[in-house]
Each structure stands twice: as C-alpha cells, then as structure tokens.
Amino acid sequence: MNFLNIAMLGGVLAGSIPLIIHLFHKSRFKVVKWGAMHLLTAVLRTNQKRIKIEQWILLAIRCAIPILLALMMARPMWQGAASLLGNRPTSTAVLLDNSYSMEAGRAGTSNFSLARDETQRLVGELKRGSEAYVFLMGEGTGLLDESTRDISRVTQALDKVGSGYGVARVPAALEFVAGTLGKMTEGTRQVVMLTDFQRLSFPASEDKAFGQAVDNLKKLPVPPTLTLWDVGVEVKENVAVDSLDFSKLMVGVGQKVQIRANIRNYGETARNDFRVKLKVDGRDKATSQVLLGAKAQSQVLFTHVFDTAGSHVVEIETEDDAVKADNSYLASIAVRDKLPVLLVDGAPGATPDDLKSETGFAQIALSPFAAGKVEQADLIQATVVTAEALTARQITDSAVVVLANVAKLGDAQLQALELFVQQGGGLLVFSGDRTDAAWWNGAFGKLAPLPLGSMAGDLKEGAPSMSLTSQRFENPALEIFNDPQNGTLSDVAIKAWYRLKPSERSGGPEDPVVLARLDSGDPFLVEKPCGEGHVIACATTLDAEWSNLPARPSYLPLIQRLCVYLASNIYPRRNLQVGEQLVGFLPVASAGKTAVLTLPDTSTLEVPVVKKGERGVVEFPQTRRPGLYTLLPAGGTPIHYVVNAERSESNLAKLSTAEITTLAKTHGLQLVRNAAEFKALDKVQRYGHELWKWALLLLLLLLFGELILQQKFARGKGKS
C-alpha cells in the first residue's frame, strides 16, 4: 500500500472527531428530574446491552467516515506484494522483434520503426539508476553485450538498429533474457516483448516451449513482470522470392548456368505481369514476367553465361512491396577457369604421357585440348605425380586428387589427404593390381567408402567380361548418361574387379552410396561423404588393364564429370544460413595479415587471417544479418558470401486478437497494444491500483449505513 498524497494521511486524525463529539455530549448532559421512572427503568433493563452495542457500532462507523475520507484524499495505491518500489530503479529487459516481417506496416512507418521508437521511449523513461537490456529477437542477440545503467548508450545503439533479420525465435529469446535477468541486480524487474505476433514466431508446436520459457522467467529468484506488446498493424500483401536453385556442379567460364527462382505470393490478390529481374554482380542481366495467383507459387528460369572466373553474386529481384528483405534473393557462385586435378600414379610408365602408365588415358581424357595440342584451353588441368613424390602442398593446391592403382601412401601423405578431404576436397580412388587390400582396409579405412574384398573376374584372353547394370543415375556426375544421346555405360566390358564389401549401414548422410553396379551385383562406383569433401571409389582400374572403359566414348565425360562433381563442393561454403560461421580460405602467404570484410549494411571490418595447416584462414561467426558479405584479401580478388534468412518469415499472417489474448492469459502475461496502455499498466505495476474509487464507494456505503442504522436503532425492538 502506498499513498500518492501522503500529506492528506494526516486527515486520519479526523477520525477522532466523532469520538470527541461523543464524549463531549456525554459529559455535557442535561439533568432532568423524572417522574415516570418506572416506564424508563423497564425499558432500560431490557435494552441497555443492545443500546450500548448499537452505540459502539454507530460510533465506529462515524469514526470510520472521516478516516476513510482522509485515506481517499491521500490516494492510496494497492501494489500487492510488489512493495514500495514505485520510484526505485528497475531492471528492464526489452525483447525487440527485428525479424524482417517487422518491415511491414502503415505507409511511411514500418512496424519495426514503431517498435524501436517505443523501445527508445520506454528505456528513456526508466527511473534513474535503472538497468536496461535490449534483446533483438530477429538477430538472436543482445543490442549490447550486457545490461547497462548507461541508458543513453542503449538509446544511441537503438538508433542504429535495423530490421530485416531472420525469424524471431521467441522461446529461445526468453530463455536468453532469463539468463541475463539473473545477472541484473534491481529488485523490480520487468520484461517487455515488442513483436508483431507473426504466426510463424508463435507456432502451436512451440507453445509448450514458450510456456516453459515463461515459467523459467517466473521461477527466477526475483520474478519479473512480463508484458507482451502488440506492435503495429497487420499487412497481408507480400510477395517473396522463396528460394534460388542453380546447378550443383561446378561452374566454369563460358558454361551455361540455369538459375531457377521460386516466387511465392502470400497475399490474397493475384499479381499479373509480376516482374522478376536477374542481376549478376549488381548489373541487370535479364527480366521476366510471371503470373502470380493469390497465395500461389511460381517459378522463373534464367540462364546465364559467366565470362570471367572468380566469385560472382547472382541476385533475383522482384517488385517493391511492404517487406523489402524478401524482395531479392542472393547467391554466391564461384566460377572457375581452371580445375587443378592431381593424378597420383601407382604404376607409372616410362614417360608421364605414356599410355601404358596407369594415368595415361585419364590425363588425356581430362585435358584433351592440351593433349591434342589444340589452342583451346582446358578447364581441367591435370598434373601427374608418383605416389612416392606426392607432397602435402601438391594436395592442398589441387581441387581433386585421383589415386590410380596406388599400393599405399606414407603416413604424412595420408594425413594431408585426409585433411584435404575433410576441408572439402574431392578424392577419386581406382583399384588395380598393386592395390594393397590390407592398407586399404586399415590405414586408408577412414577415407575408403567401402572395405575391399577379394578380386573377381578373369584377365585371360577370351574370358567372359562383366558389364554395368543399366539404371537411372541419381548422382549429378552420372546424370548425363540417363540420356542415351550422351553415351552409355552399359557397353563397358570389365574383366576384373575388386569386390567392395557392401556396408551394413546405409541411408544416413554419412553412409556410403553405391552410384553404379555391375551385373553381378557388386558395387562399381561408391561415394562417401567425408567431412566437407567426398570420396568416390571405383572397383576397377583407371587404365585399360582390367576393362575396356578407356576405349569407350563415355570414358571422357565420365572422368571429367566425376572430377567436376568432386570439385563442385566449394568449401568453405559461400551460401550460408543466418548464424552460420563465415569461413574463408586464403593462400598461406596472407596468413598473419588482415582482410577486409564488407557487411550487408556496407560497413567494413578488418578480419585477421590465421595460419591453419597450409592455408590462411578467415573466420567470422556473426552472420546474423542476412545479405551479402564480401571478403577482400590484401592484394587478392574478392570472395562473396551470401547469408540468407529463412523465407518462411515472409508469411506475414498474424495471430488473431483472440489468439493473442488467449496466449497472454494462458501464460499469465500482461498484454498491451499501444503506449498509453503500457503506461497505464506500468503505473499499476509500479505504484499499484488506485483505491480511491473503492474508498469512495465504501464511504458512501458507510454514510448510508450510518443513516439507516441510526434510524433502525432509534426505532429499537421496543420489547419491555
């Protein structure tokens, strides 16, 4: 209980006035010499006790009236157990939704700017010495690293906050804030969440988690008051670029690339002639128009030929609407002009280009122009080394390593190779007569997709050969053989092969996949992901010793495709999801220096390049903001990274008013819809409920009660 006008409380003394009047009257009595005493005595005898009680009741009521009047004028506030902390500083945590759905709003002002202004005002109006902490739900991080009493720091930082972040994870945000509140010190605590109540952020499936998070907050040693603030207006019309698909295979200079954009209309009006634009490296390249029905989805296909190598940014852009963040979709595409492939020859010939050597055919198949002395440039640049001469540096410098009939590698070589594959490199392994099954199944076991079994087939002249099973290929490397025009693998005759023991595990993301099989059922090509890279093993030789594969027309596309496929795995990845770590590999020479990273808001950042193994590595974990990040190494070419947020945020559907009310009620939260409501609620929470209305009511009741009782008492029971 607190009083706004405490001076008036002195008026309580007025409660003694009726008492004084009573005593005064009683002492200043009249004396009457009375005759009809026998009438009076009888009445007194029967009524004295009752009259005394009635007099006390009346006196109590009369005393209560001025006391109540004084209390009422002192404006009492009821705060419950919240004690007398009205003007004391508070610990305030604000959860500000800056997911990109908050960009919607009335013309001119987005819901986010509204929410941000309210947050600024809320924080700015905190009592002196209060602690404040603002958590940005879209970013999933605090505005400042920790709570502060320097309110101006918070308001200044809020000036720079923007929206356009990914989905707001409400339970996670609440859990985080609970942790921060635990470290705050003031006795009065409040948590205010300003959000647009997008249906996506409050799914029914997360209701339990939400309740759990709220409970955790309430279970804090000093539980805060929880207020939900429904900010802004609901906007229904929104068109978003949902996703962007392009070829999974590596893109070379001059190659045609198909770029497919999925456009979704979340609104309820159909959009005719909806314009979609392709931009490459910021320049308009093509425009297309699509027909978008209400709540419908559509695809737009663009083709593009990159004429320079390096990192490129592809952007699909649509017409403007309420939410800008989902009007474009970016992708980073690495275009190569060279693909270094290292052929490790286990059975070298006399000269490197000796067709009798294990890698002779493969070298020609990979770099046919160079072999034919034609002036055209090969995409793939094949280098041949012997197993003994293989160095770690050679491995790091190439995109794909091919082991052909290699008996075994040294420990250092194997270690370098493992690291190479772990970091996204491609490894292609062919068996042969020199293959050491013991080493394969032992030291090489980590990389080998399947353990090696016994040898099968017969190399004798005239012995029957085995062919490949005709099948539909799922792997991008073999996809072209699904079309007979591109050649076939079924005419390959294989005389001898190793039996690859099928794995007991299959189907998992880390499990080996059989890409092609022999008619006997034995695996022919097996792929296994290994770290960020992939390993593909072949059951037969790379040269013509065990099969007629090198002589078939399908040999060249098969080998080239396998190498391109293994090299397509651009690592570190350049298309990231919000929150994923951005990693850049730079030449080892740049280690120790810094690189410049340009962030989506065009601010730049110097990031250190750290030497890790044979590389310089840049790491940047704070990719909370979606958009384009450009890493520019000193004296190098820029590398583009694109961070995308989940596009489900584009669905602006909001919880209905009833649902929001239910949500607040179910979890025992306060709900406000504007600043005035919040202020009123805050006043109540801070100072309590004003009680003068109730006091007035009680006062009137007492006044009437006194009148009625007096009448009633004077009438008496009259029994004598």
Sheet bearing 2-3, strands edge to edge? 2-3, 76-78, 689-690
Crossing angle of the two packed helices 151-160 and 111-124, in degrees rounded to 10:
170
Closest by Cα among 565, 623, 615 to 598: 623
Which CB atom, from 26 or from 472, has the smaller least distance to another protein? Answer: 26
Binding piece for another protein, criterion CB under 8 A, among 202-210, 353-361, 562-570, 711-719: 711-719
Beta-strand ranges (E) seen in 421-517 are: 426-430, 452-457, 496-500, 513-517
Entry field: residues in the chain:
720
Count of residues that bind another protein according to CB under 8 A: 32
How large is the C-alpha radius of gyration of the chain? 41
* Integer Cα distance of 402 and 541 in angstroms: 12
Spatial neighbors of 180 by CB under 8 A, at least 6 apart, are 93, 133, 135, 142, 146, 147
Q: In terms of CB distance, is 25 or 128 closer to another protein?
A: 25
In the complex, minimum distance from the CB of residue 712 to another protein, in angstroms, rounded to a whole number = 10
Report the alpha-carbon distance of residue 453 to residue 451 in Å, rounded.
6
Asked if 25 is part of the footprint of another protein (rule: CB under 8 A), the reply reads: yes
| The one among 31, 81, 107, 204 contacting another protein by CB under 8 A | 31
| Under rule CB under 8 A, residue 299 binds another protein | no
Region near another protein per CB under 8 A, out of 42-50, 75-83, 230-238, 372-380: 42-50
The nearer residue to another protein, 4 or 40, going by C-beta atoms, is 40
Nearest residue (CB) to another protein, 86 versus 716: 716
Interface pick for another protein out of 282, 508, 635, 718 (rule CB under 8 A): 718
Name 286's Cβ contacts closer than 8 Å, sequence gap at least 6: 277, 278, 302, 304
39 binds another protein (CB under 8 A): yes
708 belongs to the binding site for another protein (CB under 8 A):
no
Residue closer to another protein, measured from CB, 57 or 407:
57
- Amino acid (1-letter code) at residue 508: G
* Partners of residue 148 on adjacent β-strands: 132
37 binds another protein (CB under 8 A): yes
Q: Which residue has the tokens 């394969």?
A: 440
Position among 30, 49, 460, 472 found at the interface with another protein (CB under 8 A): 30
Residue 175 near residue 216 (C-beta atoms within 8 A): yes
Here's the x/- map for another protein, 108-127, by CB under 8 A: it reads as: --------------------
Q: Which of 12, 17, 51, 514 binds another protein (CB under 8 A)?
A: 51
Indicate the residue among 21 and 377 with the shorter CB distance to another protein.
21
Kindly give, in sequence order, each residue whose CB lies less than 8 Å from that of residue 93, ignoring residues fewer than 6 positions away: 132, 133, 134, 135, 147, 177, 180, 181, 184, 189, 190, 191, 192, 224
Establish if 33 lies at the interface with another protein (CB under 8 A). Answer: yes
User: Coil, helix or strand for 269?
Assistant: coil
Q: Which stretch binds another protein (CB under 8 A): 51-59, 513-521, 540-548, 565-573?
A: 51-59
Q: Exposed e or buried b for every residue in 523-537, given b needs 16+ CB within 10 A?
A: bbbbbbbbbebbbbb
Q: Does 60 bind another protein (CB under 8 A)?
A: no
Instruction: Return the range that interacts with another protein (CB under 8 A); candidates 29-37, 290-298, 597-605, 670-678.
Output: 29-37
**Of 306-314, 516-524, 664-672, 708-716, which segment contacts another protein by CB under 8 A?**
708-716
Identify which range of 49-57, 140-148, 186-194, 465-473 contacts another protein by CB under 8 A: 49-57
Q: Is 142 in the site for another protein (CB under 8 A)?
A: no
Which residue of 7, 20, 38, 80 would you call a contact of another protein, by CB under 8 A?
38
In the chain the first and final C-alpha atoms are separated, in Å, by: 49
Rounded Cα gap, residues 495 and 492, in angstroms:
10
Smallest gap from Cβ 126 to another protein, in A, equals 59
Q: Using CA atoms, how far apart are residues 88 and 687, in angstroms rounded to an integer? A: 11
Among 6, 10, 13, 55, binds another protein (CB under 8 A): 55
Q: Are 406 and 452 in contact (CB under 8 A)?
A: no
Pick from 4, 19, 40, 301 the residue near another protein by CB under 8 A.
Answer: 40
Query: Cα 635 to the chain's mean position, in Å?
Result: 34
Using CB under 8 A, which of 20, 35, 204, 373 touches another protein?
35
> Which part of the chain contacts another protein (CB under 8 A), choosing from 78-86, 345-353, 677-685, 712-720?
712-720
**Which region, judged by CB under 8 A, interacts with another protein, from 105-113, 130-138, 251-259, 710-718?**
710-718
Task: Choose which of 246, 439, 620, 713 interacts with another protein (CB under 8 A).
Answer: 713
User: Does 49 participate in binding another protein (rule CB under 8 A)?
Assistant: no
705 lies in the site for another protein, by CB under 8 A: no
- Cis before residue 572, ω within 30 degrees of 0? yes
For another protein, the closer CB: 57 or 698? 57
Q: Which of these, 106, 171, 101, lies nearest to 324 by C-alpha position?
A: 101
* Binder among 42, 377, 438, 463 for another protein (CB under 8 A): 42
Nearest to another protein of 39, 301 (CB atom):
39
CB of 62 to another protein, least distance (A): 13
Q: Does 20 bind another protein (CB under 8 A)?
A: no
Sign, CA torsion 571/573/579/583 = positive
**Using the rule CB under 8 A, which residue among 17, 54, 218, 338 binds another protein?**
54
Q: Are 542 and 358 in contact (CB under 8 A)?
A: yes
The backbone torsions φ and ψ at residue 188, rounded to the nearest 5 degrees and listed phi first, read: -105, 125
Q: CB count, 10 Å around CB of 393?
A: 11
Written as six digits, the tokens of 76 are: 């009492």
CA distance 17 to 7: 19
Closest to another protein by CB, 34 or 221: 34
Binding site residues, another protein, CB under 8 A: 25-26, 28-44, 46-47, 51, 54-55, 713-720
